[in-house]
Amino acid sequence: MKEKYGFVYIWRDRKNNRFYIGCHWGTEDDGYICSSTWMRNSYKRRPQDFKRRIISRTYTSKTDMFLKEYEWLCLIKREELGKKYYNHMIFNASDKNHKHIASDHARRKMSIKKQCYIPWNKGKKCPQLSETAKGRTYSEETLTKM
C-alpha cells in the first residue's frame, strides 16, 4: 500500500475555460476527483475535457496541506469565483475561526439557509423553501410553539 500524503491540484476544463483548485490527502492515483459537486458532475459528463495538474505536495500534515491550498485559493479574485473557477468560496479549512470570501451565488445560498433556521431542526439539513416561504421570519413566540 502506498503512503498517503497531501497535494494541492488544479483542474482545467478546456471546453469552458474554467478551473478548480482543491487539495486531497491520499495518493495521486486513488481516483479522487474533487469535493465540488458542480465540478465533479461536469467531469463525469465530459472527462475528456478535463486535465489535472499537481501544483504542490505536502508530506508533513493535513494542516500544512490546507494552508498551501489556501495560499493558492487567495490568488483567485472574488469576481472570478463561480465564473472562471468552479470554486465558490475561499477559506482556510485548517482555521476553525476562518473568514471566507464567497461568490455572490454562495452568499445567496448561505443567506437562505440562515433564514430557514429553526431550533428544532438543529443538526438536520435545511428543508427546501417554497417561493412564498423564502424570506419569512418567525417571532420568538412562534418558534417556541414550534
Of 21, 2, 6, 1, which Cα lies nearest the Cα of 84? 21
Residue 130 has pLDDT above 80, yes or no: no
Would you identify the CATH topology of the domain 5-103? GIY-YIG endonuclease (3.40.1440)
Give the pLDDT confidence score for residue 89 in this predicted structure: 80
Q: What are phi and psi of 114, to 5 degrees?
A: -65, -40
- Is 49 exposed, middle or buried (CB count within 10 Å of its CB: 0-12, 13-18, 19+)? middle
What's the pLDDT band for 140 if we cut at 50, 70, 90?
low
Domains in the chain: boundaries: 5-103
Separation in Å, CA 115 to CA 110, 119, 127, 141: 9, 12, 11, 17
> Each residue of 57-116: pLDDT tens digit?
999 999 899 989 988 988 988 889 889 999 988 877 765 555 555 555 555 555 544 444
Most confident stretch, 12-21, 85-94, 119-128, 132-141:
12-21
